[in-house]
Structure 1
Amino acid sequence: MLITHGISNHRILGADELAFLCQAFDAACLVNGDPSADAEVMAKAIIVTYERGVTNEKELVEGAILSASARRVDM
């Protein structure tokens, strides 16, 4: 449930929006493999990207995975 953690700092989301974002997060975790280290980064990336107007699940997932990859490179 990490995806709901940062939402309090953002606008209120409807149930449909939250379900959509959770679906995108689950898809990103499946593609990324073991998401434990990257889960928070991916969740934040999905939320921020969605708030910027991206509503395509594939684009949200790709952005989340790129954010997680960039985090690993920076470490």
Structure 2
Amino acid sequence: MNKLVMRFLTTIEGKYFTLSVDDIKADDKGPTITEAEVNALMDLVIAKNIFLSTSGDLTGKKDAKIVTTDTNTIKVA
């Protein structure tokens, strides 16, 4: 599973807002989302200001990362 985790700056200094998107687009080689797409998404989230945060309004981009998780099933008797 691939997840996009984005952190935003807020109006309260030193506080951040985190937004995660599960199951981002991927192919056999891994995630296919581009830096440009992530930046555009983060800019849109900031511009639309639709998320209520206890840390205030979202004011900028802090960072973003893709988290990849592998699952291995273990047979139990």
* Larger Rg belongs to: 2
Greater strand proportion: 2
TM-score higher than 0.5? no
Greater relative contact order, per chain length (Cα 8 Å cut-off, separation 6+): 2
Q: TM-score range by the shorter chain?
A: 0.3 to 0.5
Greater helix proportion: 1
TM-score (norm: length of structure 2): 0.33
